[in-house]
Amino acid sequence: MSSETKQILTTDGIPLEISLKKAERKNKIKAFLLVAPLLLFLIITYIFPIGEMFTRSIDDKMITNMLPKTFKSMETWDGKELPSEEVFASFLSDFKILVDKKEHGKLAQRLNKEKNGFNTITKKLFRQVKRNKIDETQSIKEQIMKVHKRWRNVEYWQAIKRTAPPYTSAKYLKAMDMYLNEDNKITQVSEDRRIHRILWLRTVEVAFFVTVFCFLMGYPIAHLLATLPMKYSNLLMICVLLPFWTSLLVRTASWMILLQQQGVVNDFFVMIGLVADDNRPEMMYNKVGTYVAMTQILLPFMVLPLYSVMKTISPSLMRAGKSLGGTPFVAFWKVYFPLTIPGIGAGCLLVFILAIGYYITPALVGGASGTLISNQIAYHMKTTLDWSFASAMGLMLLGGVLVIYWLYNKLVGVDNIKLG
């Protein structure tokens, strides 16, 4: 059909489309060059690190590279009974190379993570290999099996086979307090070791309530800001922004001064007789402290989008609602409130996403019962140096945020977000 329609030509006889493209090309290149630095910056600082994090979190290539022949010969093994002579032979040859490179310790460590008891038997095997006690002209299988009784146990060979794939979901399962058992089934860890799930739930809970508190406190402030005369609203705006301009650490530290047991708030409670001097409530190093400090710190992120939306709502709409017979409440609920939803959405999303990954404040005022998943991530980054586990948890956090974003889009629509 399109071929039948007559092509429109410019005055010079060039097809219009081509001419238009030529004319626009320069502008397109210009526009691209303008955004190119940002694009590059984003790729280097955002997309690339996230990709790196992802590969790190599922990477299990180390052992794959250590035992290449073993895994190759294991491909035909059904895993039910002890493997064949061939598997034992390739394992020994892989192991000898590792001994030469002095990497057998790493192997022992990695295998021990998969199944307890590998450390001992690997060391025993190492001693035998070192003393050249293994005669390669005879059955290697028999000789290895004599090194330690566990080498005769099929479960240990199954454990080796499980480490074969270059990628693993173990870190993700660990973050959910689960692991793959001997039968390749996802199993929960024993009850007393389930710490991550509590942290995840607490993180979501804290983020949710901080968002709710921010909304409850921010909505009236934003409304006041939007309706007060310029003179007062500017002052109020400065009050809202002042904490914004103060260092996060300073603000958190000041909350510590206020909330500690011998702190200002407690002193005040004692003074007015609300609590006894020897029975001061703990408001810090628990969830209360986290809630209070995070709500205060994240409040501007709620107020600002709400304010920018409320600013655009004409005061005559409320008046119209009232003059048409709506009580002030009806006019607010049916007219004003629905118009602020874009601001509410933007504010809540912003606060929730920031709160879910919050780190410094819970670390300082959270104590044991107020730390969040971000503190756990930091712990593995800095203390245990298990970066792949930290990466896995970080990515799960990112995934969670994306899910929330998707949900929000389904419920409210992203087009409805108004940030300014």
From the list 116-124, 173-181, 211-219, 318-326, the region that binds another protein by CB under 8 A is 318-326
Asked if 326 is part of the footprint of another protein (rule: CB under 8 A), the reply reads yes
Instruction: Name residues whose C-beta falls within 8 Å of residue 147's C-beta, 6 or more positions apart in sequence.
Output: 121, 124, 125, 128
Asked if 229 is part of the footprint of another protein (rule: CB under 8 A), the reply reads no
Classify the C-alpha dihedral 334-339-340-345 as positive or negative: positive
- How near is the Cβ of 226 to another protein at its closest, in Å? 16
Instruction: Name residues whose C-beta falls within 8 Å of residue 122's C-beta, 6 or more positions apart in sequence.
Output: 104, 107, 108, 111
From the list 69-77, 105-113, 150-158, 316-324, the region that binds another protein by CB under 8 A is 316-324
Distance CA 270, CA 123 (A): 64
Question: Which listed residue (13, 37, 273, 325) binds another protein by CB under 8 A?
Answer: 325
From the list 5-13, 89-97, 206-214, 323-331, the region that binds another protein by CB under 8 A is 323-331
Site string for another protein, 285-314 (x = CB under 8 A): -----------------------------x
- How near is the Cβ of 408 to another protein at its closest, in Å? 18
Distance CA 208, CA 121 (A): 50
Nearest to 352 by CA among 217, 212, 219: 212
> Based on CB atoms, which residue is closest to another protein, 296 or 308?
308
CB atoms within 10 A of CB 202: 19
Instruction: Name residues whose C-beta falls within 8 Å of residue 71's C-beta, 6 or more positions apart in sequence.
Output: 64, 161, 164
Asked if 37 is part of the footprint of another protein (rule: CB under 8 A), the reply reads no
Classify the C-alpha dihedral 248-250-253-257 as positive or negative: negative
Contact 56, 391 (CB under 8 A): yes
Alpha helices in 132-263 (DSSP H): 140-147, 154-162, 170-175, 196-227, 230-245, 248-259
> Based on CB atoms, which residue is closest to another protein, 132 or 314?
314
Asked if 327 is part of the footprint of another protein (rule: CB under 8 A), the reply reads yes
- How near is the Cβ of 320 to another protein at its closest, in Å? 4
Distance CA 349, CA 298 (A): 12
Asked if 320 is part of the footprint of another protein (rule: CB under 8 A), the reply reads yes
3-state secondary structure of 35: helix
- How near is the Cβ of 230 to another protein at its closest, in Å? 16
Asked if 339 is part of the footprint of another protein (rule: CB under 8 A), the reply reads yes
Asked if 316 is part of the footprint of another protein (rule: CB under 8 A), the reply reads yes
Distance CA 369, CA 287 (A): 6
Question: Which listed residue (334, 399, 402, 419) binds another protein by CB under 8 A?
Answer: 334
Asked if 323 is part of the footprint of another protein (rule: CB under 8 A), the reply reads yes
From the list 117-125, 333-341, 358-366, 389-397, the region that binds another protein by CB under 8 A is 333-341
Asked if 106 is part of the footprint of another protein (rule: CB under 8 A), the reply reads no
Interface contacts to another protein, rule CB under 8 A: 314, 316-317, 319-328, 330-331, 334-335, 338-339
